[in-house]
């Protein structure tokens, strides 16, 4: 478990992160869906997250911002236990509750967790299958065989991902033939097909042109009525345009979390202000 | 004064450097040409002496008898007109029966007939052992690269694989003899040969399979897992289908190794002479696996070491080597073409 050395170091450095965490936790509402407490995360000997605590409310868009390497992806991948696959990765201390359940509890099956917590990756990764099969994939591995039910979910998911009109006539074509923006929306359709509660998006627009980015942002706006969305982004404008709450990370610590408007217009911390005004990062 | 002297010294040194450079280039080029010369000599000799045995200037352009008959004893005698006649065992008997008298002839074992059973045997040995090695190799590669956690045990396994690749083939032959032929009591048989050859190519196949698995983008696995697939579902539906073509094409190179080795089969699967083809004269289907077969490399070994070399036995030797080389070339060419095609058709 946690060694004495790390513990002492923590004690000395809590000043900053406690404040920041309190900001997030203090505003917590009754409908918190993800709740993180005191998370210390390591890759081998290197600590990537330091004592992170935050609450993410249901059916809102929360943006993670911060300079490259500050641990946004790492935290995101904790939520669906994707880090389990990395041999180096170690969650040393802290808890993550999703919907009131500790996701590292022995009774929690990561497979079931990942059905409830969908993920859209930074590099769009459609499978080299047909458009239809891409969207149906999660249901098929979940054991659904009924063709009618599959058809229905595929259509609904593509409609909800604002892709239906563009692909309705060529569902059997390879997904690799779609444009970059369409591929990313396909990945979103694929994620919502399994009816998750939460969708994690890791810089979903980083490879897209401005028009494709705009479409994905509109989509995020539509989706938040039904899903809780956590989006990592490098793009300040994107965070301010499409998120309700923003968390700023720096060097593995949560510096500030609050209403997006407030964080951007009146940041409580000097580091946040420097970052959003582009003075570093 | 001083400056000029230095300049002269420098230019002399530059001259030396140029000469040394030229000498190095010459040596390197010479070594390369030596390889070309050696390969050229070997191939020219085989084609020059082997092609006339196998190929014919008139339709059907191949020596059908050589490719479809079993090896026979060659009988050489002089006909009434004093011309030299060479006949295989069967034709010689017929000739004797027709002429109604005993013909005085010199006989050379294995120098007549053809090499059909050897071709069939080599093809069977190769297909079977590659099939076994592929199944084992794919399973092993999936475990190693998709499931296992890196640790001391896996390091030992990898070391074992590397070492297995370096074991001389005669050692595999003796291993197969001890384990499959004697201990399991399979005798000299196709099955013993398959297993021995499979053990020999396994390292090559595992390495090829792991490489193909690695070439499948991580996004295919993560994407599947993020949708609630189990690891095996992700591998089965999203990794294996894309890795399989690469596994198969890379494994073709293993085929040439399997087809070419003599040592592993000489104690485990190869017969010196067997007139029946593997599907002839079987009591039941099970016997198929427990019969020995003839094989091209072993036949060549036998012809070269046990049959006295002379102008009458030469054709059988060169013909066999020529067919063997052509077969290996064809397989290699196919693997190169398949690989190129696969690279082009890769969907990502
Ligand atoms: N798989 C990994 N193995 C080791 N270190 C990693 C790995 N992934 C990320 N890191 C390290 O963890 C830190 C946080 O990375 P990451 O979460 O990817 O940051 P961000 O997404 O904010 O750019 C970085 O210092 C990075 O080098
Ligand atoms: Mg990242």
pLDDT single digits (tens) A178-222: 999 999 999 999 999 999 999 999 999 988 899 989 989 999 999
**Looking at the predicted structure, is the pLDDT value of residue A11 above 70?**
no
Which chain B positions have a beta carbon within 8 Å of A114's beta carbon?
Answer: 225-228
Task: Identify the pLDDT of residue A4.
Answer: 39
User: B146, B238 in Cβ contact below 8 A?
Assistant: no
- The model's confidence at residue A72, banded by pLDDT at 50, 70 and 90, is very high
- Does the beta-carbon distance from B348 to A121 stay under 8 Å? no
Whether B4 maps to a domain, the answer reads yes
Q: What structural domains and CATH numbers belong to chain A? A: 4-125+196-276 (3.40.50.300)
- The model's confidence at residue A121, banded by pLDDT at 50, 70 and 90, is very high
Q: CATH code at B167?
A: 1.10.3720.10
Whether B96 maps to a domain, the answer reads yes
Whether B223 maps to a domain, the answer reads yes
- The answer on B164 and B42 residing in a single domain is no
Q: Calculate the CA B162 to chain-centre distance.
A: 20
Whether B44 maps to a domain, the answer reads yes
Sheet containing strand B71-78, edge to edge, reads B84-88, B71-78, B106-113
User: B117, B275 in Cβ contact below 8 A?
Assistant: yes
DSSP helix/strand/coil, B222: helix
Q: Exposed/middle/buried for A85, CB within 10 Å: 0-12, 13-18, 19+?
A: middle
What is the DSSP-derived secondary structure letter of residue B55? Answer: B
* Mean pLDDT taken over chain A: 87
- The answer on B221 and B188 residing in a single domain is yes
Whole-number Å distance between alpha carbons of B56 and B45: 18
- The answer on B104 and B121 residing in a single domain is no
Sheet containing strand A32-43, edge to edge, reads A46-57, A32-43, A89-98, A101-102
What is the tens place of the pLDDT at every residue in A223-264?
Answer: 988 999 999 998 888 999 999 999 999 999 999 999 999 999
Task: Identify the pLDDT of residue A277.
Answer: 87
- The answer on B121 and B141 residing in a single domain is yes
For chain B, the domain total comes to 3
User: B214, B246 in Cβ contact below 8 A?
Assistant: no
- Does the beta-carbon distance from B226 to A115 stay under 8 Å? no
Q: Exposed/middle/buried for A29, CB within 10 Å: 0-12, 13-18, 19+?
A: exposed
Q: Calculate the CA B246 to chain-centre distance.
A: 20
- The answer on B191 and B208 residing in a single domain is yes
> What's the distance, Cα to Cα, between the start and end of chain A in Å?
33
- The model's confidence at residue B6, banded by pLDDT at 50, 70 and 90, is low
- The answer on B90 and B6 residing in a single domain is no
Whether B36 maps to a domain, the answer reads yes
Domain holding B181, by residue range, is: 116-345
- The answer on B122 and B79 residing in a single domain is no
- The answer on B126 and B15 residing in a single domain is no
Atom 25, ligand 1: which residue's CA is nearest?
A69
Whole-number Å distance between alpha carbons of A221 and A215: 10
Task: Identify the pLDDT of residue A10.
Answer: 38
- The model's confidence at residue B307, banded by pLDDT at 50, 70 and 90, is confident
How large is the angle between the packed helices B116-142 and B314-345, nearest 10 degrees? 30
Mean pLDDT of B196-225: 93
Mean pLDDT of B117-145: 93
- The answer on B32 and B76 residing in a single domain is no
What is the DSSP-derived secondary structure letter of residue B102? Answer: P
Whole-number Å distance between alpha carbons of B187 and B184: 8
Mean pLDDT of B11-28: 92
Å from B348 to nearest chain A CA?
7
- The answer on B323 and B228 residing in a single domain is yes
Nearest to A276 by CA among A244, A243, A235, A241: A235
- The answer on B123 and B108 residing in a single domain is no
- The model's confidence at residue A1, banded by pLDDT at 50, 70 and 90, is very low
Task: Identify the pLDDT of residue A21.
Answer: 39
- The answer on B151 and B231 residing in a single domain is yes
Task: Identify the pLDDT of residue A17.
Answer: 40
Whether B66 maps to a domain, the answer reads no
Residue A143 Rama label (left phi>0; alpha psi -120 to 50; beta): left
Whether B65 maps to a domain, the answer reads no
Q: Exposed/middle/buried for A280, CB within 10 Å: 0-12, 13-18, 19+?
A: exposed
- Does the beta-carbon distance from A127 to B223 stay under 8 Å? yes
Using a CB–CB cut-off of 8 Å, the residues of B that contact A are: 149-150, 217, 219-220, 222-230, 233, 237-238, 242, 347-348
Whether B244 maps to a domain, the answer reads yes
**Looking at the predicted structure, is the pLDDT value of residue A5 above 60?**
no
Task: Give the residue from B96, B113, B130 where a domain finishes.
Answer: B113
Taking CB atoms and a 6 Å cutoff, what residues make up the pocket around ligand 1? A 43, 46, 48, 66, 68-74, 86, 88
Q: Which of A69, A75, A76, A275, when mutated, tests ligand 1's pocket best, judged by the most ligand atoms within 8 Å of its CB?
A: A69
- The model's confidence at residue A20, banded by pLDDT at 50, 70 and 90, is very low
Task: Identify the pLDDT of residue A272.
Answer: 92
For B114-239, where are the alpha helices, taking DSSP H only? 116-142, 152-166, 169-176, 190-214, 218-226, 231-234
Residues 167-196 of A with CB under 8 A from B: 174, 176, 187, 190-191, 194
């Amino acid at each position: 478990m946690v060694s004495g050395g790390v513990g002492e170091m923590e004690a000395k450095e809590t000043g900053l992160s406690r404040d920041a965490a309190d900001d997030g936790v203090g505003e917590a509402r009754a409908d918190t869906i993800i709740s993180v407490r005191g998370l210390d995360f390591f890759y081998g000997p290197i600590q990537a997250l330091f004592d992170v605590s935050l609450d993410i409310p249901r059916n809102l868009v929360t943006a993670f911002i911060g300079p490259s390497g500050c641990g946004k992806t790492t935290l995101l991948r904790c939520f669906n236990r994707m880090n389990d696959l990395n041999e180096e990765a170690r969650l040393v201390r802290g808890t993550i509750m999703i919907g009131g359940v500790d996701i590292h509890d022995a009774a929690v099956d990561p497979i079931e967790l990942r059905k409830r917590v969908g993920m859209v990756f930074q590099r769009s990764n459609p499978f080299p299958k047909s458009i239809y099969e891409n969207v149906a994939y999660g249901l098929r591995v979940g054991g659904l065989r009924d063709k009618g039910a599959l058809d229905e979910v595929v259509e609904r998911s593509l409609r909800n991902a604002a892709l239906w009109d563009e692909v309705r006539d060529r569902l059997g074509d390879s997904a690799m033939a779609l444009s970059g923006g369409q591929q990313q929306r396909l990945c979103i359709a694929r994620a919502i097909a399994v009816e998750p509660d939460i969708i994690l998006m890791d810089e979903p627009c980083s490879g897209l042109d401005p028009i494709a980015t705009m479409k994905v942002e509109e989509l995020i706006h539509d989706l938040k009525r039904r899903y809780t969305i956590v989006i990592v982004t490098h793009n300040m404008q994107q965070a301010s345009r499409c998120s309700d709450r923003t968390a700023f990370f720096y060097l593995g610590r949560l510096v500030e979390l609050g209403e997006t408007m407030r964080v951007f217009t009146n940041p409580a911390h000097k580091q946040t202000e420097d970052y959003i005004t582009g003075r570093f990062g | 004064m001083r400056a000029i002297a230095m300049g002269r010294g420098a230019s002399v040194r530059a001259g030396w450097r140029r000469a040394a450079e030229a000498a190095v280039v010459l040596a390197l080029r010479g070594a390369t040409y030596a390889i070309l010369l050696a390969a050229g000599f070997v191939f020219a000799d085989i084609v020059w002496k082997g092609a006339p045995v196998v190929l014919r200037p008139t339709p059907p352009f191949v020596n059908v008898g050589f490719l479809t008959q079993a090896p026979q004893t060659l009988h050489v005698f002089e006909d009434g007109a004093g011309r030299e006649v060479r006949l295989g065992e069967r034709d010689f008997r017929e000739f004797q029966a027709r002429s109604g008298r005993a013909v005085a002839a010199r006989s050379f074992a294995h120098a007549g007939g053809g090499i059909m059973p050897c071709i069939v045997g080599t093809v069977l040995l190769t297909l079977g052992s590659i099939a076994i090695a592929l199944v084992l190799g794919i399973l092993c590669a999936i475990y190693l690269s998709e499931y296992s956690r890196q640790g001391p045990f896996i390091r030992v396994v990898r070391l074992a694989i590397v070492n297995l690749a370096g074991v001389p083939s005669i050692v595999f032959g003796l291993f197969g003899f001890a384990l499959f032929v004697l201990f399991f009591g399979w005798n000299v048989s196709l099955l013993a040969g398959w297993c021995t050859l499979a053990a020999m190519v396994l390292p090559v196949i595992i390495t090829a399979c792991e490489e193909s698995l690695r070439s499948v983008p991580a996004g295919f696995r993560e994407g599947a897992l993020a949708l609630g697939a189990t690891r095996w579902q992700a591998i089965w539906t999203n990794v294996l289908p894309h890795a399989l073509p690469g596994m198969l094409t890379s494994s073709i190179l293993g085929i040439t190794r399997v087809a070419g080795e003599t040592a592993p089969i000489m104690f485990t699967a190869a017969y010196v002479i067997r007139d029946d083809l593997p599907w002839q004269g079987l009591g039941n289907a099970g016997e198929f696996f427990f019969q020995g077969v003839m094989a091209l490399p072993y036949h060549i070994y036998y012809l070269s070491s046990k049959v006295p070399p002379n102008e009458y036995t030469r054709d059988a030797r060169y013909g066999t080597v020529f067919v063997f080389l052509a077969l290996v070339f064809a397989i290699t060419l196919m693997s190169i073409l398949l690989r190129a095609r696969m690279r082009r058709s890769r969907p990502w």
